[in-house]
Structure 1
Amino acid sequence: EYVDAIIDMADSLDMYIALLPSWGDKVFKNSWGTGPEIFTPDNARAYGQWIGNRYKEHDNIIWIIGGDRNPRAGSTDITVWNQMAEGIAAAAGGYGNTLMGFHPQPNRPGGSSTWFHNEPWLDFNMHQTGHCANQGTYKFILHDYDLNPTKPVLDGEPLYEDHPNCFNAKELGYSIPDDIRRIMYWNVFAGAFGQTYGCHDVWQMHTLDGEGINGPLRPWQQALELPMANQVKHLKHLMLSRPFLTRVPDQTMVLDVQEEDDDFIIATRDSEGTYAFIYFPKGKTCRLDLSPLKGNTLNSWWYDPRTGNAFTGPTIAKTDQVTVVPPTSGKGQDWVLVLDDASMGFQEPGKMP
């Protein structure tokens, strides 16, 4: 009844719930979790039907199968999760009445696609790129984006704010906004249909009189006002200020040979060529190919991912090679170059229609 009340409250606030039918330790505990291990191929479908029937009238639920576990080789885990998902879909009246993903642990190169990409219940793929700052998460998103049949992909658990880097705060410190922002823009520009945000203090609802898991830094109430908790919206506003559903990744626009480090510049554009976004994590000078864009005259803008503000740049003639110098450079000086076909009359980037 408590879960019912939370789902109803979220609905009253026009919010969606990502609902996990079970945490992964109810299938197997491995090295963490308390269990009990109760689900088998014989009972998982019945449970899925029960919980699916309970919430089939709610249209604000996104079903997340898996519960932070990767299926073990040589086990029945894949069958258990398939049966649970099929039970939910059957109770809801079919696949068209559910929206489902699978929350894995870190896995390379594919996330949920490794085990479930061709399953009819899986509507979108999820990754957990994990809690290390020094990795090219865009590669994992692009891997799933390129799969056939085509399914949307999302990073369901990226580096959290206030999280010990690689769970090793003593040697590597904690995550900082620069790293979290970079991962977010990398993922979405590589083809993800959105991005999740998490905070190490908030997920565990840490308080000063609590024991804390993996070294939280502050009470959860204070963490609600951390920098990235307020900066995530700038990515959303940018993406929705231009045609969203026709957007594709296009790394061919970046001409310079790049190392796979935290200065990696990444590009995305409209499939019709009406606009492009190029993300510069550290404001590095770069050569770009603008020929995939439609108009011969391009309006340029610089969008600040830290503030959501934008200012106009020069009008640029379309060419197959132009050198671009961002307004500032260095760690924490990330920018998005926005290029628009001048004939489209797009509004300022980040301004919602």
Structure 2
Amino acid sequence: MHNSRGERPFAFPGRVPGYEEVYPDVDRIVPTYFDELDTKISYLNEQGFVVFLEPTRRDHSMAWMKYYDWPDSWIRFVQYIWRRYGAHNVILSPIHLDYLGASIPASEYRRVTDEMVARYGMPPFGQLVSANPHETARRNFGDDCRWLTLNMAGNGERYHNRYEAWITGDYLAKPTRPCVNGEPHYAGWYETRGGSKGGTTDDDLDMRSAMYGSVLSGGLGGHIYGANYLWEGELEDPNKEPMWESIQWRSGGQLQHLKAFVLSVGADYPNLVPHRELITPNESGPGNGFRGWAFCARTDDMRTFLVYLEPGCRTSTLAGALPNTTYDALTMDPATGEWSILGNGKLESGADGTLALPSTPADADLAIRLCVR
């Protein structure tokens, strides 16, 4: 991608026969390009953003491997990025591997990154290292991948039946690593396939399913927001909305309420464990969708629950509570962040440690916090 001065990271011409003006010379960087990138990353850090920085993308790999000194050329560039920005507040990555096609195999990326780390070591200031994956980075590169310190999920089909399959699997895997849904459902993502139009109220509900469902499924490392036309940097296509429009869609602003909800439990937050199975029924809608499913995380001492109910959830039972115990019960509207008491503000568990949860209408979701104080 070019910067505001029209510069690109590598010089031309390249070495790929017939494509010298298409594929650059990846052995020759344009230093002034990175001067502007310095400014952008510093500015983002100053505003409180943690930058996820990926030096290379899967579809660069085959030409790089065939026409350049592989893996030394690739390692040199990845190391250049890691070292140039290694004192910033960033999450580092060797590769953007959102799809396993049009690429060298994931096993080759692991091999050459293993070699790079063996030569130069891990980032010196302890920055997390991950990779934008096809479904999960842990599956792509293996549980024993030495440089993978953040489990990241994403891409593929992005419906709510993926949260548990990907993120809870990452959460429960050994060795233990923080987890995040790095490329979840994006606002308007399924619009061209009959899904919700980006920026609409229905689309907001889809997005909140991805936010709350991902975090309560074990993605306690946080959540990454994306939207159609924003992720592709759309500027010119008259059939699409420009990125400065989609960046203003409501769902982006609603992400802050997720933070308020999960951090409302204070020091219990890192002790939450995904337990969707404690809600019965927890699936009142199709798997390929964003309606009718329920999600739950609980602390092992059974004193704190966070629950998220998509629109269209039936009245349900929550198990796994302390028997014959009073829980403070609050709800939060995920659309507005407004807190309310649930019923009279108290829920009593039975002798079997169960609690009754409300249903949700077809056009509204609900977040619930239950705590023993």
Q: TM-score, normalised by structure 1?
A: 0.79
Amino acid at match of 1:54: R
181-190 or 260-269, which moves further after superposition? 260-269
Amino acid at match of 1:244: Y
The corresponding residue for 2:94 is 65
The corresponding residue for 1:50 is 80
Q: CA deviation at 1:257?
A: 6.5
Which of 12, 16, 25 in structure 1 is aligned with 2:50?
A: 16
Distance 1:89 1:235 in 2: 39
1:21-75 deviation line (CA, Å, top 9, x unaligned): 112222138xxxx99975733433333333333223x231111232134556995
- Any gaps of 5 or more consecutive residues in structure 2? 1-34
Q: CA deviation at 1:11?
A: 2.8
Q: CA deviation at 1:12?
A: 2.7
16-25 or 136-145, which moves further after superposition? 136-145
Asked if the contact 2:189/2:228 (under 8 Å) is kept, the reply is yes
Asked if the contact 2:155/2:184 (under 8 Å) is kept, the reply is yes
Amino acid at match of 1:117: D
Q: Please provide the CA RMSD for this pair.
A: 3.2
Distance 2:60 2:69 in 1: 6
The corresponding residue for 2:366 is 335
Amino acid at match of 2:226: G
Distance 2:121 2:278 in 1: 44
Matched ranges for 1:96-175 at <5 A: 97-105=126-134, 107=135, 110-130=136-156, 132-133=158-159, 135-165=161-191, 168-169=192-193, 171-172=194-195, 174-175=197-198
Amino acid at match of 2:218: G
Distance 1:333 1:40 in 2: 53
Which of 247, 254, 257 in structure 2 is aligned with 1:224?
A: 247
Q: CA deviation at 1:180?
A: 1.4
Matched ranges for 1:338-353 at <5 A: 338-341=369-372, 343=373
Q: CA deviation at 1:280?
A: 1.1
Q: CA deviation at 1:279?
A: 1.3
Amino acid at match of 2:214: N
Distance 2:245 2:293 in 1: 32
- Any gaps of 5 or more consecutive residues in structure 1? 344-353
Which of 322, 339, 355 in structure 2 is aligned with 1:322?
A: 355
**Residue 69 and residue 329 in structure 1: after superposition, are their counterparts in 2 closer, same or farther (change >3 A)?**
closer
**Residue 16 and residue 294 in structure 1: after superposition, are their counterparts in 2 closer, same or farther (change >3 A)?**
farther
The corresponding residue for 1:196 is 224
Distance 1:284 1:37 in 2: 58
**Residue 126 and residue 79 in structure 1: after superposition, are their counterparts in 2 closer, same or farther (change >3 A)?**
same
SS of equivalent residue, structure 1 residue 186: helix
Equivalent pairs: percent with the same residue? 20
**Residue 8 and residue 307 in structure 1: after superposition, are their counterparts in 2 closer, same or farther (change >3 A)?**
same
Which of 40, 52, 71 in structure 2 is aligned with 1:41?
A: 71
Amino acid at match of 2:232: Q
Equivalent pairs, count:
323
Larger Rg: 2
Amino acid at match of 1:150: T
SS of equivalent residue, structure 2 residue 252: helix
**Residue 53 and residue 173 in structure 1: after superposition, are their counterparts in 2 closer, same or farther (change >3 A)?**
closer
Q: CA deviation at 1:195?
A: 1.4
Asked if the contact 1:27/1:38 (under 8 Å) is kept, the reply is no
